[in-house]
Copies of this chain bind each other. A is one copy, B any other.
Amino acid sequence: MSDKKQLIQPRTLKGFRDFPPALAMPREQMIDAAKAVFRSYGFAPIDTPALEYSEILTGKGGEESDKQMYRFTDHGGRDVALRFDLTVPFARFSAQHAQQLGLPFKRYHVGPVWRGENTQQGRYREFYQCDFDTIGTDSNASDIETALIIHDILAALGFERFKIHVNNRKILSGLLETLGLSEQATPVLRALDKLAKIGADKVAAEMASAGLSDAQAAHILQAVQTEGSNRAVLDQLSQQLSASERAMEGVADLRQLVDAFEAAHIPEGRLRVDVSVARGLDYYTGTVYETLLDDLPGIGSICSGGRYDNLAALYTKQHLPGVGASLGLDRLLAAMEELGLIAQTNTPAQLFIVQFTPDALGSYIALSRRLRAAGFATEVSAEAKGMGKQLKYADRKGFRFALIGGPDELERGVWQVKDLRGEGNPEIAEDDLVEHLRSMF
């Protein structure tokens, strides 16, 4: 009997989330910083559709159930699905456009992916991935560049204490070869991947159940746990594995990488040759990368990747080897928050101009343009309500300074510069304002 309209409950789907400014701003800054590094190395952006033919994504295998694809039939009766990562679309893209791209091809791709995963472990069903790859070359120069980019992104984000752990699959393959264990590579690598988490004893036990003798397991565990400086580790591996040509190739590639980091004057502690890094995926064939934060090792690898032999075998006969890595945006964001690398604010602007005298809006706007031209993001108060209310808004949003000009100040050509996080309210001549503000940041 009521004519009141019933409201629709505003809510998001389980496993999906909104990003209000306090979350969206640091994510955007992080992505922008990463993109700036990618571009500085000559990596170009690409984009691919969120929706693909399901057969493209499943690769006609049984992977669909693993990835919990969002799959449905579209208006035209097509079997379609939302992408669950950026690697498979990149493989499809590369096969489709390889002729026009020009090889080697270096691309980055940042975008959302979707998986109908169990949300109990804090997993989201929609999340961003940030991948970069070089395809169409076997050159170790690209493996080296990949590690340099990981380094430069973390440095750009403000991290100082981190280690890029590098290994080469050829070393592990060579080691298994010399032990006659090539057939058991997959379970052995899978066990090794857990070394940091479960310890040597449990890894040995897993190797035993994969059919290795105690001596074999001990030999492998000793080799991958070689300690010392990067050069010392490589020297030891050279001695131990001289019988395996493949392993020696891997050692030589890592040696070149260590040399390059030295030539680039990067602190030695940031790169660590770590033969225990296996990256369980069968996919990788050469260099592999994992990146750990010294202060937050428990968070896991924040940037991982490796070299692979053939990206797009499902879609083309063209052989496309490559190397790349993926930034763990959610982990990075959590780490930056925990390490205090994120400014707590709800606005990207530093300065807030109070509307003291509504008639003077033109003056406020003119000042705001002058400040923006000098590089200060500046908000003019939308409302001419009471000063207390305006300052409360500015404080709550996280502005750094409020600029106040009433009729008296405007006539004298000065502004009160109110520090919103401390004391102080000096009066500054408009012509000196930019210089004054520069000294405050």
Complex contacts, A27 vs chain B, CB 8 Å: 47
| B32, B41, B348: the one within 8 Å of A379 (CB) | B41
Query: Which of A17, A60, A112, A380 gathers the greatest number of chain B CB atoms within 10 Å?
Result: A380
Residue of B nearest to A145 (CB): B380
A141-B355, A383-B104 known; A44 and B24 CB under 8 Å? yes
Q: Do residues B317 and A263 form an inter-chain contact, with CB atoms below 8 A?
A: no
Enumerate chain B residues within 8 angstroms of A5, measured Cβ to Cβ. 313
Interface magnitude class on chain A: 35 or more
Closest residue of chain B to A362, judged by CB? B263
A281 to chain B, nearest CB (A): 20
Per-residue CB proximity of A292-308 to B under 8 Å, as 1/0?
00000000000000000
Other-chain contact of A16, B49, B82, B372, B393 (Cβ < 8 Å): B49
Which residues from chain B contact A74 at a C-beta distance below 8 Å? 13, 70, 116
The answer to whether the Cβ of A142 comes within 8 Å of any Cβ in the partner chain is yes
Is there an interface contact between B19 and A59, defined as CB atoms closer than 8 Å? Answer: no
Q: Are B60 and A47 touching (Cβ within 8 A)?
A: no
**Is A283 part of the contact surface with B, judged by Cβ < 8 Å?**
no
Report how far A51 CA is from B14 CA in the complex, Å: 11
Check A240 for interface membership: any CB of B closer than 8 A: no
B144 touching A7, Cβ below 8 Å = no
| Interface residue A223 (Cβ < 8 Å from any Cβ of B) | no
Bound Cα distance from A52 to B16, whole angstroms: 9
CA distance A322 to B249 in the complex (A): 64
Q: How far is the CA of A75 from the CA of B366 in the complex (A)?
A: 55
**Residue with the highest number of chain B CB atoms closer than 10 Å, among A42, A60, A134:** A42
The 0/1 profile, CB within 8 Å of B marked 1, for residues 56-98 of chain A is 1001100000001010111110101010000000001101110
Q: Are B40 and A372 touching (Cβ within 8 A)?
A: yes
Interface positions of A from 96 to 111, Cβ below 8 Å from B: 96-97, 100-102, 104, 106-107
Within 8 A of B (CB), among A26-61: 27-28, 32, 35, 39-53, 55-56, 59-60
Which of B78, B348, B363 meets A42, CB within 8 Å? B348
A368-B42 Cα distance, complex, nearest whole Å? 11
Please report the C-alpha to C-alpha distance between residue A362 and residue B35 in the assembled complex, in whole angstroms: 24
CB of A112 within 8 A of CB of B50, answer yes
Known: A39-B348, A44-B24. A363 touches B112 (CB 8 A): no
Residue of B nearest to A109 (CB): B24
* In the complex, A21 has a CB within 8 A of chain B: yes
Q: Is B49 within 8 A of A17, CB to CB?
A: yes
CB within 8 A of A76: which of B14, B106, B379, B382? Answer: B14
Give complex CA distance A76, B16 in Å.
Answer: 13
Out of B12, B377, B383, name the residue touching A139 (CB < 8 Å).
B383
Docked CA distance A17–B9 (Å):
35
Within A379-397, the residues touching B (CB, 8 Å) are 379-384, 393, 396-397
B45, B95, B137, B346: the one within 8 Å of A102 (CB): B346
Asked if A18 CB lies within 8 Å of chain B CBs, one says: yes
Whole-angstrom CA separation of A44 from B343 in the bound complex: 14
Question: Given the complex of chains A and B, what is the CA–CA distance between A43 and B361 in angstroms?
Answer: 19
Q: Which 4 A-B pairs have the closest CB atoms?
A: A42-B379, A263-B362, A21-B44, A42-B349
